[in-house]
């Protein structure tokens, strides 16, 4: 957030448009600082005030656009999801997949569910563990790819529900290992309701992985229920029924896989980059050729405030030189 303030300060001093991407739903993360309704409301108000100082905002999903409008942001907002490297995720490495499956001790013939993301309360991973307990299948393994502050609690829930033999904590999978993880799995499961976009959902679809996710606006831009994935309510019993249905129906998995790949291509990096460039061009064309109010440097932390002050001095000096109307020879 402070870097955003700094960027806005620099843009104002140099009279160039400031385009902000709102990619973190701050009110949903206040529990890491002080979990009260007051701090959540304060985060909403800060987002509104900051947003109103921007020349335009890019929202990674329709959900974020709605939140910004509900908070009172009136500047132009465009929904533009982060692009997906579709070719990278569509290229499996059989040897790497085999090594990953061996490392995680997944038996031949077991069905694999994959979750990828940070292990924090807001990701709702506990619901996936409880859904596994409700599932009627006994040949299913849930691979949790990621790490974070809630890992210990999740391990306790796994023990409590008696599904230890069916859960693997893989840690973070980087680069080719993450691609292998997608292709190793039979379905991707996702229960977070605090996402700004849910990029891993798009990556899973690009890899041809059927997606089962909890109903949330952030992923509904990617997932159309029954066409490119399956959407369920935030209840482990319903997630379990969807898991059993998808894993038990080869034709359904193929249908969701093919439609998901086609949908992911709509969000390719090339497509999204073209839209982003067009947004920047519109911002430049619409930018008012006047000096807008600066963000007080008191809002910036020490190092950034000093840099901003130096930039201001440089701008003033340059302006004075231009105003002299003469050139020394």
Q: Do 101 and 219 contact (CB within 8 A), yes or no?
A: no
pLDDT (average), residues 260-278: 96
Tokens of 64: 């974020």
pLDDT value at residue 205: 97
Q: Are strands 187-190 and 211-214 parallel, antiparallel or unpaired?
A: parallel
Q: Using one digit for the tens of pLDDT, what is the confidence trace for 18-43?
A: 999 988 765 554 444 456 667 777 77
For the chain, first and last CA: distance in Å?
Answer: 47
Q: Using one digit for the tens of pLDDT, what is the confidence trace for 157-201?
A: 999 999 999 999 999 999 999 999 999 999 999 999 888 888 999
Residue 214: its H or E element: strand 211-214
Q: Do domains 2-82+271-291 and 86-266 have the same CATH topology?
A: yes
The CATH fold of domain 2-82+271-291: Rossmann fold (3.40.50)
For residues 16 and 290, give the distance between their C-alpha atoms in angstroms, rounded to a whole number. Answer: 10
Q: Using one digit for the tens of pLDDT, what is the confidence trace for 212-256?
A: 999 998 888 889 999 999 999 999 999 999 999 999 999 999 999
For residues 212 and 192, give the distance between their C-alpha atoms in angstroms, rounded to a whole number. Answer: 12
Selected residue with higher pLDDT from 326 and 139? 139
pLDDT bucket at 328, cuts 50 / 70 / 90: very low
Chosen CATH of 86-266 out of 3.40.1520.20, 3.40.50.1970, 3.10.450.350, 3.40.50.2000? 3.40.50.2000
pLDDT value at residue 8: 84
Selected residue with higher pLDDT from 294 and 320? 294
- Neighbouring CB atoms inside 10 A of 286's CB total 11
Closest C-alpha among 76, 80, 40, 43 to residue 62: 80
Q: Using one digit for the tens of pLDDT, what is the confidence trace for 65-107?
A: 998 999 999 999 999 999 999 999 998 999 999 999 999 999 9
* Domain residue limits, the chain: 2-82+271-291, 86-266
The single residue listed with the structure tokens 């359904």 is: 252
Asked whether the CA dihedral 107, 108, 111, 112 is positive or negative, the reply is positive
Closest C-alpha among 293, 309, 313 to residue 301: 309
For residues 263 and 281, give the distance between their C-alpha atoms in angstroms, rounded to a whole number. Answer: 27
* Percent of the chain at pLDDT exceeding 90: 65
3-state secondary structure 11-75: HHHCCCCCEEECCCCHHHHHHHCCCCHHHHHHHHHHHHHHHHHCCEEEECCHHHHHHHHHHCCCC
pLDDT value at residue 202: 95
For the chain, what is the total number of helices (H) and then of strands (E)? 14, 9
The CA distances from residue 180 to 205, 209, 253, 268, in Å, are 14, 12, 18, 20
Helix then strand then coil, in percent of the chain rounded to 5, is 55, 10, 35
For residues 236 and 241, give the distance between their C-alpha atoms in angstroms, rounded to a whole number. Answer: 9
At residue 52's C-alpha, the angle toward residues 49 and 54, to 5°, is: 120
């Amino acid at each position: 957030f402070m870097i955003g303030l700094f960027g806005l300060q620099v843009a104002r001093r140099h009279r160039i448009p400031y385009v902000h991407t709102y990619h973190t739903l701050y009110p949903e993360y206040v529990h890491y600082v002080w979990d009260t309704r007051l701090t959540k409301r304060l985060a909403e108000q800060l987002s509104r005030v900051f947003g109103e100082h921007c020349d335009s905002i890019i929202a990674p999903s329709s959900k974020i656009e709605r939140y910004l409008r509900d908070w009172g942001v009136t500047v132009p907002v465009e929904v533009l999801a982060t692009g997906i490297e579709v070719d990278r995720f569509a290229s499996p490495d059989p040897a790497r997949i085999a090594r990953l499956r061996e490392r995680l001790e997944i038996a031949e013939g077991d069905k694999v569910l994959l979750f990828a993301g940070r292990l924090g309360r807001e990701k709702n991973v506990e619901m996936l563990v409880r859904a596994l307990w409700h599932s009627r299948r006994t040949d299913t393994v849930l691979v949790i790819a990621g790490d974070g502050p809630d890992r210990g609690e999740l391990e306790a829930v796994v023990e409590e529900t008696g599904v230890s033999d069916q859960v693997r904590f893989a840690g973070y999978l980087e680069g080719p290992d993450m691609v292998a993880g997608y292709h190793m799995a039979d379905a991707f499961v996702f229960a977070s309701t605090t996402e700004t976009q849910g990029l891993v959902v798009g990556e899973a679809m690009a890899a041809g992985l059927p997606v089962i996710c909890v109903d949330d606006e952030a992923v509904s831009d990617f997932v159309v229920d029954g066409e490119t994935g399956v959407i369920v309510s935030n209840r482990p019993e319903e997630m379990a029924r969807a898991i059993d249905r998808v894993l038990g129906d080869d034709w359904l998995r193929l249908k969701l896989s093919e439609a998901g790949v086609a949908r992911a291509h709509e969000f390719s990096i090339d497509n999204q980059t073209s839209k982003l460039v067009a947004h920047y061009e519109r911002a430049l064309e619409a930018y008012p050729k006047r000096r807008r109010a600066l963000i007080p440097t008191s809002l910036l932390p020490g190092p950034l405030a000093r840099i901003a002050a130096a930039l201001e001095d440089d701008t003033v000096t340059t302006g004075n030189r231009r105003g002299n109307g003469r050139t020394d020879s």
